[in-house]
Amino acid sequence: MRRFKLQVQVSVDGYMAGPNGEMDWMTFPWTDDIGAYITEITKPVDCIVLGRRLAEGFIPAWESGPEGEDRESIDWMNNTPKVVISNSLTESPWKNAVVAGGDLTETVNRLKSQPGGDLIAYGGGTLVSNLIAAGLLDELHLFVNPVALGGGMPVFPDSGAYHRLRLVTARPFDCGITVFHFEPKRS
């Protein structure tokens, strides 16, 4: 079965965006060592999963060939098939992307049972919280930036339930980000 990974930028106090959706706190530029880590975790990935709101900015941004990104990353982002999780869209307005709606657990389990490489989710906030709450992720790669926001959009949902995790690795990078790779502890 395909593994489903999450790669998300997070503040040290657990937020993926500021109180008003700010993302200007993220550490850039990245260094070669963190680039190598990303290459390592995405090598087996052949499908990107996004929430609709993130897809609206993410897909066009990569299609434009963002300044400062290397050609290999741009090509990978644009050429890797995408699934946009949405109950408001019925068809994809983007190239190389399909829309999947309905029950999130059924949709993800269907994707995971298909032949192919791994899946990776980049967000947004609602999708990430729902994936965590439903226990659908196999790996969490939390890119912890050296900044505390004091409030905002949390990575982990306030569901009243614990999210028990097992630390696989913790790795600091030259740019100041530390990546924590967790796997959910399943009962």
Could you tell me if 82 and 55 are in contact, meaning their C-beta atoms sit under 8 angstroms apart?
yes
Beta strand pairing call for 45-51 and 118-123: parallel
Contact 141, 6 (CB under 8 A): yes
* Cα distances (angstroms) measured from residue 139 to each of 4, 107, 165: 7, 18, 10
Residue 65 lies in a domain: no
Does residue 88 fall inside a structural domain? Answer: no
Q: Output the pTM of the full model.
A: 0.95
Q: Is 152 inside any structural domain? A: yes
Within-domain flag for 124? yes
User: Residue 140 belongs to a domain with what CATH number?
Assistant: 3.40.430.10
97 part of a folded domain: no
Q: Does residue 160 form part of some domain?
A: yes
**How does pLDDT run along the chain (187 residues), one tens digit per residue?**
899 999 999 999 999 999 999 999 999 999 999 999 999 999 999 999 999 999 999 999 999 999 888 899 999 999 999 999 999 998 999 999 999 999 999 999 999 999 999 999 997 889 999 999 999 999 999 999 999 999 999 999 887 888 899 999 999 999 999 999 999 998 7
Query: What distance in Å separates the CA atoms of residue 138 and residue 120, rounded to the nearest whole number?
Result: 10
Q: How many domains does the chain have?
A: 1
Write out the residue range of the structural domain in which residue 156 sits: 4-51+105-184
Residue 143, beta-bridge partner list: 9, 179
